[in-house]
C-alpha cells in the first residue's frame, strides 16, 4: 500500500541535542511538507519542498533544517536552536500539478518531547 | 492566517447526520474549500474539496452556498469513529501557494452512542 511513513513515532531528547525525524513516501509525490502541531492548536508549516534538492521555509522555520536528496525522503532536523521543540510533527506530500486542487496525504506523525 | 471560521465544538448522535458549518466570507474566486479531519494523535485525513458546486464522495457531502461565503460538511450517518477534529480550509489553486493549507483549530466533533 502506498503511503507516508514517519519515524520514530515517539522521541525523547535532552535539551541541547539535535534530532532528526524521518519521512518517507512511496506515492511518487513530488512535493513534501513538514508541519508542527501544538496541543489544541492547528498545524503550522515548517518547511516544504517541491522538487529534489530544493526546499523553502514555511512560517516557522527557525531552529529547523531539512534536506531533499531523494524524491521519496524529506527528513527534518530539530536543532538545539529551536527554543520550544516539544510538539507533534507531521509530514505530508502531494503531486506537483500546476493547476487544480491540492490534496495532501499525511503521515501518522512523530511526537517529540524534550526533557 | 485564518480565512475560515468554525465552531469550536459540536456533537451528534450516532446514526444521525452531522452538519459542520464553515464561514469563509473573504474567499476568492480561485480558492478551493477543503475539508480534512484529524482523529486524536493521528495525521489529518483528506475528506473532500470543492470550488463552486456541491460535491459528494464516499465519506461526505460538501454544500457550498451560491455566494461561496460559507459551506457545510455533511456526514450523513455519523459513527463513533467519526469523532475527530474537522478542519475547513480555503486555499488558492496550485501555482501560487502550493501546499500552504492553513489549518486552524477546527471543530471538535463528538459522536455519542
CA dihedral B11, B101, A114, A68 (to 10 degrees): 140
Taking contacts as CB-CB distances below 8 angstroms, the residues of chain A near B102 are 42
Nearest to A31 by CA among A109, A90, A110, A102: A102
Asked whether A53 and A66 are in contact (CB, 8 A), the reply is no
Dihedral sign, Cα of residue B5, residue B7, residue B8, residue B9: negative
Of the listed ranges A6-10, A25-29, B1-5, B97-101, the least confidently predicted one is B97-101
The pLDDT of residue B10 is above 90: yes
Interface of B with A (CB under 8 A): 32, 34, 36, 41-46, 49, 51, 87, 91, 93-95, 98-106
Contact B99 A92 (CB under 8 A): yes
Nearest to B87 by CA among B102, B100, B98, B69: B102
Low-confidence ranges of chain A (pLDDT < 50): none
Contact B91 A102 (CB under 8 A): yes
What is the maximal distance between C-alpha atoms in chain B?
44
Asked whether B86 and B104 are in contact (CB, 8 A), the reply is no
Query: What residues form DSSP beta bridges with A87?
Result: A112
Nearest to B49 by CA among B61, B33, B28, B70: B33
Asked whether A33 and A48 are in contact (CB, 8 A), the reply is yes
In the 8-state DSSP scheme, what is residue B8?
S
Contact B44 A90 (CB under 8 A): yes
Average pLDDT over residues B80-97: 83
3-state secondary structure at position B98: coil
| pLDDT 10s digits, B28-69 | 888 889 999 999 889 999 999 999 989 999 999 999 999 999
Contact A96 B106 (CB under 8 A): no
Q: Which residues, in sequence order, are CB contacts of B27 under 8 Å at separation 6+? A: B3, B33, B68, B69, B90
Contact B41 A111 (CB under 8 A): yes
Q: Give the 3-state DSSP-derived string for A7-72, with helices as H, strands as E and coil as C.
A: ECCEEEECCCCCEEEEEEECCCCCEEEEEEECCCCCEEEEEEEEECCEEEECCCCCCEEECCCECC
Sheet holding A64-66, edge to edge: A4-7, A19-25, A76-78, A64-66
The chain-wide mean pLDDT, for chain B, equals 91
What is the C-alpha separation between A81 and A65, in angstroms, rounded? 10
Nearest to B75 by CA among B103, B106, B49, B47: B47
Tell me what pLDDT residue A63 has. Answer: 95
Amino acid at each position: 500500500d502506498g503511503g507516508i511513513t514517519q519515524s520514530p513515532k515517539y522521541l525523547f531528547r535532552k535539551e541541547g541535542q539535535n534530532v532528526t525525524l524521518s519521512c518517507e513516501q512511496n506515492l511518487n509525490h513530488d512535493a513534501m511538507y513538514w508541519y508542527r502541531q501544538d496541543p489544541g492548536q492547528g498545524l503550522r508549516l515548517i518547511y516544504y519542498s517541491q522538487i529534489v534538492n530544493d526546499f523553502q521555509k514555511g512560517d516557522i522555520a527557525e531552529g529547523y533544517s531539512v534536506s531533499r536528496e531523494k524524491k521519496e525522503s524529506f527528513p527534518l532536523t530539530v536543532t538545539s536552536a529551536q527554543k520550544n521543540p516539544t510538539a507533534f510533527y507531521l509530514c505530508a506530500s502531494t503531486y506537483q500539478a500546476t493547476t487544480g486542487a491540492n490534496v495532501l496525504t499525511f503521515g501518522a506523525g512523530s511526537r517529540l518531547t524534550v526533557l | 492566517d485564518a480565512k475560515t471560521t468554525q465552531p469550536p465544538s459540536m456533537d451528534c448522535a450516532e446514526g444521525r447526520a452531522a452538519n459542520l458549518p464553515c464561514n469563509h466570507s473573504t474567499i476568492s474566486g480561485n480558492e478551493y474549500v477543503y475539508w480534512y479531519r484529524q482523529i486524536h494523535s493521528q495525521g489529518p485525513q483528506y475528506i473532500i474539496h470543492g470550488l463552486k458546486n456541491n460535491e459528494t464522495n464516499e465519506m461526505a457531502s460538501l454544500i457550498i452556498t451560491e455566494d461561496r461565503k460559507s459551506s457545510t460538511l455533511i456526514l450523513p450517518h455519523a459513527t463513533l469513529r467519526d469523532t475527530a477534529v474537522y478542519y475547513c480550509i480555503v486555499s488558492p489553486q496550485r501555482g501560487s501557494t502550493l501546499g500552504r493549507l492553513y489549518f486552524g483549530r477546527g471543530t471538535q466533533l463528538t459522536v455519542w452512542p
